Structure 1
């Protein structure tokens, strides 16, 4: 079992509670938003260990509603359930057990009130990434963060696909056709080294771009 296997049953459960859910948003395994409530964050792990506790402590700078999600059949948790729940209460975390085979979720503990100092800029970045990302292209709990499709990469891919289909094009035309005001900045800054400037305001997709976007096209339906 992989940590990402826990994501879809959890997402289905939270969506049933009227949350909007996305995976791998600014290093949070799962981020769920419901109206004007505090963001709900879930860190997924195959066992409850120090690493996930430390990750959850870090998430408290973003929201006071932080859960840890583990498999329901976790032997280590069953052996020390009472003490584990007590520890999580002290720390202010919630606990969710996820049964992948039955596609079910059990909320063992809700977060208790805890008010650490919030870092406003980090929280704003978190919510901005959630709102600007199109669809939900990433499975929460992915082992490699390098494969995460961020909102910026989604925009860059839209521009790259446009150039692949239309050939060398003016930045102004791309911005207009895609309704993407940052199209020129994306090509000019060229963060992924996909674009070449071939004239005044005119850009092309280079060989590196053609090669790398093909690896992302399987996620094209998400953006």
Structure 2
């Protein structure tokens, strides 16, 4: 039978953290002016806050210590989670963003090991934004591709209206009004450069390919279009006004 896991306290972190910094040549003291751990070496002051997990309270305490020195760490027991997980990566990003260092303490049977995940360092916001340039551009493209604001911010477990779905609705309305069409004719009606990809991928099952290069709206598409009354009404009117001017003579015509 496996024994119960030893319950840990914040004070359990002190000894291994102290030993680590002592080995690095620091003079280490506990509980100095409300700071859990203070270490000094050649006038270089290092402060460490000890907690059993990452929390807002811990980060607040640590950022207050930055009034005294740039060298501030937070130390926690090594958590039992996947270090490749989004949750862990996001937590590390926040700690880095606050320009704090992160220490993990692993408790073994008769020993404890200290791991410096990263040291305190200035956060290069410009470099961070450069790395996220593609995501920024994707966000701007998504916003530009939406006709209006059909989502409620903070929604959970609800269908989200995206620029992609709006594009699908536009294509479906064209096919509903004008009958089977080619991607070329649809693009002339304003459905955009992604028309062929949307038809081929057919993510929502709204389209049927009836012959080479010719598509029609499926029964699923006809039924589900009515779930979006505002966009259906808008694109239906747009299509009715423009359809006759853009259809190719070699398309399979006829209203549905």
TM-score by length of 2: 0.42
Question: TM-score, normalising length from structure 1?
Answer: 0.48
Largest Rg, 1 or 2: 2
